[in-house]
Amino acid sequence: MKVLVTGAGGSIGRTLGRGLPRLGHELRGLDLAGEPVPGYDAGWIIGDCLDPAVVDAAVRGVDAVVHLAGNPEEDSLAASLQSHVHTTGRLLDAMVRHGVDRIAYASSNHAVGRTPSGETLTTSARPRPDTYYGTAKVAAEALLSLHVDRHGMSAVAMRIGTVEDEPTTVRQLSTWLSPADAVRMVDAAIGVPAPGYTVIYGISANSRGWWDLGPGRAIGFDPQDDAEAFAGSILPRPEDEAENAFAGGPYALPDLERPAF
């Protein structure tokens, strides 16, 4: 499958560049950065996902889109909507024009970040964003759902946890997504055989995980790694209890509260 990856120069994009070609995919990268990343043998496009000409050229001729681009940090409401919702809209418009019918979207646990811990977090839980970043992810998910209904696309919103080589905090023993499992997740998301809208949680098979992995497994994402392998090297910290109180961890705490305008 020929796949466009936006934000290909980021950490997850680099991970996909190492892993997806081994599974038979041909990758084209789109990023603001100028240096191509290994694994993107189908081309490297420098530009902004907000630029319709850039996006049109990037989408033309691919079979699927993996949308990773966007500011991963909290920002103003307007900037967050532009970074996550407007870019997604540009891509979806181009996909409709060029007949590309499948997209895997890097959503976030922050779309439900204010959900208290204690019970299994299912994908049917109501949106409870913890920040404007999370709010924008909720809006982008809604935009995907709209295009699925209007155009018969296949769209998978991947509510990603913590993507690192290894977990470094107690919370991450629950939320960790290993690089290898990130590749497995995206491979499953772009390979969904039937059209429709799906939300999955992007974490590994963590012993301490409390986010429901059932929807991911239903589309073929079978995570293999477990953060518990690193538990012995993680020292407790005073902030662990507060970070573990909500799905969004530190993003759900008062430090990031600000007016919308």
Domain boundaries along the sequence of the chain: 2-256
Percent of residues, the chain, with pLDDT higher than 70: 100
pLDDT, tens digit, 9 for 90 and up, residues 197-228 = 999 999 999 999 999 999 999 999 999 999 99
Selecting among 105, 132, 133, 201, the annotated active-site residue is: 133
As a whole number, mean pLDDT of residues 225-244 equals: 96
Question: What fold, for 2-256?
Answer: Rossmann fold (3.40.50)
Report, as an integer, the average pLDDT of 58-82. Answer: 97
Contacts 24+ apart (CB under 8 A), 68-71: 68/5, 68/6, 68/7, 68/8, 68/10, 68/12, 68/13, 68/106, 69/6, 69/7, 69/10, 69/30, 69/31, 70/7, 70/106, 71/133
- Is 0.75 topped by the overall pTM? yes
pLDDT confidence tier of residue 34, bands split at 50, 70 and 90: confident
pLDDT band at 35 (very low <50, low <70, confident <90, very high): confident
- Is 197 annotated as catalytic? no
Give residue-wise pLDDT tens across range 100-133.
Answer: 999 999 999 999 999 999 899 999 999 999 999 9
